[in-house]
Structure 1
C-alpha cells in the first residue's frame, strides 16, 4: 500500500496503483504524437518584478496589502525563472518532456497595458522561446495567467468593456513577435478563477467582493477569450493551434438521489464547469441549469455578443485537480449550492484542502468531450500539493508520485474509451508562489529552495523522467545548471 501523509484515511482512492507493482500502462500506450509536458506561470515563477522596464501588475499590488497572502509573502523573486530559465529548461528536457507551457507577463511587454512596448520584455520571451526550441521542447504560450497590468486595473480592469480591445491588441503583439516559432497558444488561464476569486470572493487580485464586478468581469473575459482567439488566428500560420483553458471539478451531490442536492449540483456545474466553455460553442451562457444567469448578465450584454463569444478553438485545456461534493444551501442565494470541504468528508486531501480523487480527470474529459463540437482536449494542468522533506539530497514525495501515476492512468482510460485527448501537462515544473497561499503548498516536480534557488528533482519528477524515457544528465552538466542529483 502507498504510504501517504497523516491526514489520509483508508481506503485509498481506487485509482491508485500498489507501489510494489508495475504500472499497467506505458508511454507507448498513448501514441507517438501525445504531448507530455509541465506547466508554469509568469507571476508564480519569474520574479524580476521591476526588471528592465516591467510595469506593476495587480498581483504586485495585491501582495502589498496587509492580510492578503499567508505569511505576507510575495513573488518579487519567486523561483527566479527570469534569470534561471535555462536551468529549468535543461531539467525539463532531461526529464523527457516534449512540451513546456508558460505564460507571458502582460505588464512586462506592455508596462501600461497598452501603448508603448517594452522591447526588453519582449526580448525575454524571444529568448525563452528560442531556448525551448534549442532543447526540442515545443513552447505553449498562455497569454493571460491572472497578472493584469496595474495601469489597466486603474481604468476598471476586467470590469471595463474596453479590456476586450486592449487584450486583443496584446494578443496581436505577441503573435507578431513569436508566432513564427510558437506552435501552441492558450488565450486565457482559468477565467472562472480570476474573475470569481478576484471579483466576487476577494481572495485573489484585485481583491473585489461585488456581484456586479464579477458579472461584468465574467462577461468581458468571455468576449476577450473569443476575440483573443480571433486575433491570434488572423496572424498565426495555419499550423499553429489555438486553445484556451478551463478550471473544472467533477461534481457529485452530497446526498445522491436527494432532489435538492441534485439540483444544487447542476447549478454549481453551470458556474464552475460550463460558464466559459459553452459560449465558445455558440450555446451562450448555461442558463438552462442556472436561469438567474440570464437576467443577471443582461445589463452587460450588447447586441451581437452571443456571436462574438463563440470561437472555434483547436483545443481546450482541461485543468483539473479534484472533485467537489455539492449540497443545497439556503444561505447562498441565486446558486443555492455550497461545496462540502474534503476535511469534513473523511477523505484524503492535499495541502490545498482538495480531495485526492484522480478519477476526476477522467470524468471531466468525458463531460467536455460529450459536446458534439468539442475540439481536441489537453490536460494542461494536473497535480497535487503535499509537504516536501529534503532527505540526503532527495525529495521522496511518495504521495505526489502516486497522484501523478494515477492521473495519467485516468487520461489513458478516457483515451481508450474514444476521448480525443492529446496531451498531459503536470502542474507544475517547479515549486512556485501559490497565489494567496504563498510558498506553503508545493506542486512542483522540481523542488526549489527559495533561499538558495537550488533545484532538486523530486522522486515524482524522477518517475516522470523514467516513464518518458528522459535523457541521462551527467554530474558535470547537473553542476553547471545547479541541480542536485542526489
Structure 2
C-alpha cells in the first residue's frame, strides 16, 4: 500500500457560484457571472447559476455527503456579492448567516473549512465601476476580506485569497470566454493582473492582522505543468524553463503570477517581452504583493511533455494519435501531479497544497440506480500515485482537494460536463454518490492507495 504522511489532509472542493443557486434571494447582489449567463450564446444551453445545485437550501444535506465520503476538509468559496450586495459598504446579514451555517455544519461533522475568498463571482456593481481595471479594486477586496475575517476567523484558520487568476484574467478579460466577457489588449490584461496580485497581498495582510485564530494563508493559482520527456538532466532543465519561462503574449503562465507574490518581482523575461505594454507601477506595489505565505496552492489537471532542444529553451512534444482525453478533452497526464508540485516547490520553497484535481467523465444513473464511473477511479488513482511519488522524493505536499464533491455548473460549459464524486439530477436535485465517492472514501480511511 502507498501510505501518505500521517498528517496528510484529504479534502473535497467546490465554489459558490457553481453550486449555491439562490441568486435572487435574501438580498444577494449580482455577480459578473449572473450577467454573463444572460448574454446569449456565452454559456452552453443558456444555462445559469440561478439554481445550480441548490446548495443554498441543501447545504446541510451536502455537508452530510462530504462527511459520508470521509473528507477531512472542505474547500469552499464565499460569494462576495452575497456578503456585500454592492461590493462595498452595506453588509448583508443574511449572507453572513448562510456561511455561518455552512461553517458550523462542517465543524459539527468534524470537517475543517478551508475558505477561498474569491472564486470568480465578482460583484456586478463594482464591475460597473471599472472592476479589476480600477486600482481601487485592491482596496475593495481588502475591505471585503476584513468583513469575512471579522465574521468567520474565530472558526476558520485556512485561507486562500484568489482562485486561478490566470483564468479569470486571461479567459475573462482576454479571450472573453469567461465572465465578464471582455477582450482587452495585453496592456489592460497586465493592468488587471497587477491589481489582482496587489489585492491578494492586501488580503493576506488583512488576514494576518485581523484573524482571531492563527491563520494559514495561501492561494490557488493554476498549476501550469510542463514535465520532461525523460529524467535526463537536460530534459528536466527544459521542463523547468517551460514551466517558468515567459513565451508568447498570453498570461497562461506560472511565473508572471507566482514570482511577484513569492519572490517579490516580475520575471525579467516577461518584462522584456511585454515592454511598453506594462502598466506603470511603484516598487511599493510589489512589496504589497509579496506577503509571506504558508502554502502554495495549485490546481493541477494535466500537463505537457517537453524535451531539450538545441534551437530553443525547450521543445513541446506532440501527443500521439489516440492520446487519452477526458470529456472536457483535457489530456490524461498523471505525471503532472509529480512534476508540478516538485518544480513549484523547488522554485517557491513553500509547502504545496493540491487545491483542485479531477476530471469530467461520462456519468449517468444506471439501471441499477448507481453511477458507475471507473474512468474517474482510474484517473484519480493514477494521479495520486504520482503525488505519492513526489512526497516520497521529498516534496512537502500537505493536502489534496478533489474537484468536486458535487456535479455542478462548469462555467461557460453550463451543466454539460460532470466532475463530481456525487451525481446531481438538476431537475430533481437528487444526489447519488458515484462509485468513485466510495473509492475515495476507502483511500481516505486507509490514508493510502492499494
TM-score by structure 1 length?
0.84
Matched residue, 2:311: none
Alignment of 1:412-451 (within 5 A): 412-451=388-427
Matched residue, 1:267: 246
Matched residue, 2:103: 129
Which of 263, 266, 269 is the equivalent residue of 1:285?
266
How far 1:263 sits from its partner (Å)? 7.8
How far 1:389 sits from its partner (Å)? 2.3
How far 1:301 sits from its partner (Å)? 1.6
- Stretches of structure 2 lacking an aligned partner (at least 5 in a row): 308-313
Contact 2:227/2:335 (8 A) holds in 1: no
Secondary structure at 1:275's aligned position in 2?
A: helix
Contact 1:244/1:316 (8 A) holds in 2: yes
Q: Deviations over 1:148-179 (max 9, x none)?
A: 00000001101110000000000010000000
Which of 148, 151, 161 is the equivalent residue of 2:122?
148
How far 1:345 sits from its partner (Å)? 4.9
2:187 matches 1:212:
yes
How far 1:288 sits from its partner (Å)? 2.7
Alignment CA distance shift 1:460-1:90 (3 Å)? same
Q: 86-95 vs 134-143, which deviates more?
A: 86-95
Matched residue, 1:305: 285
Which of 211, 214, 228 is the equivalent residue of 1:236?
211
Which of 298, 301, 324 is the equivalent residue of 1:348?
324
How far 1:361 sits from its partner (Å)? 1.2
Matched residue, 2:59: 85
Contact 2:423/2:432 (8 A) holds in 1: yes
Alignment of 1:373-452 (within 5 A): 374-391=349-366, 392-452=368-428
- Stretches of structure 1 lacking an aligned partner (at least 5 in a row): 1-23, 328-336, 471-486
Q: Deviations over 1:311-351 (max 9, x none)?
A: 11111111100113689xxxxxxxxx999997x85311111
Matched residue, 1:33: 7
How far 1:261 sits from its partner (Å)? 12
Which of 121, 124, 135 is the equivalent residue of 1:161?
135
2:250 matches 1:276:
no
Aligned equivalents of 1:419, 1:40: Cα separation in 2:
26
Contact 1:219/1:300 (8 A) holds in 2: no
Matched residue, 1:475: none
Matched residue, 1:314: 294
Contact 1:102/1:141 (8 A) holds in 2: yes
Alignment CA distance shift 1:238-1:445 (3 Å)? same
Matched residue, 1:56: 30
Alignment of 1:189-208 (within 5 A): 189-208=163-182
Alignment CA distance shift 1:388-1:305 (3 Å)? same
Which of 4, 12, 16 is the equivalent residue of 1:42?
16
How far 1:240 sits from its partner (Å)? 1.9
How far 1:249 sits from its partner (Å)? 2.5
Q: Deviations over 1:228-269 (max 9, x none)?
A: 111111011452211111102322699x98xx9998773359
Secondary structure at 1:378's aligned position in 2?
A: strand
Secondary structure at 2:161's aligned position in 1?
A: strand
Aligned equivalents of 1:374, 1:98: Cα separation in 2:
25
Q: What CA RMSD, in Å, does the superposition of the two structures yield over aligned residues?
A: 2.7
Secondary structure at 2:269's aligned position in 1?
A: coil
Matched residue, 1:462: 438
Secondary structure at 1:267's aligned position in 2?
A: coil
How many residues align? The count is 432
Alignment of 1:217-228 (within 5 A): 217-228=192-203
Aligned equivalents of 1:325, 1:69: Cα separation in 2:
31
Secondary structure at 1:247's aligned position in 2?
A: coil
Matched residue, 2:72: 98
Q: Deviations over 1:253-291 (max 9, x none)?
A: 99x98xx99987733598422221111123412233662
Aligned equivalents of 1:207, 1:275: Cα separation in 2:
22
Q: Deviations over 1:405-436 (max 9, x none)?
A: 11211111111111111011000010000001
How far 1:215 sits from its partner (Å)? 1.3
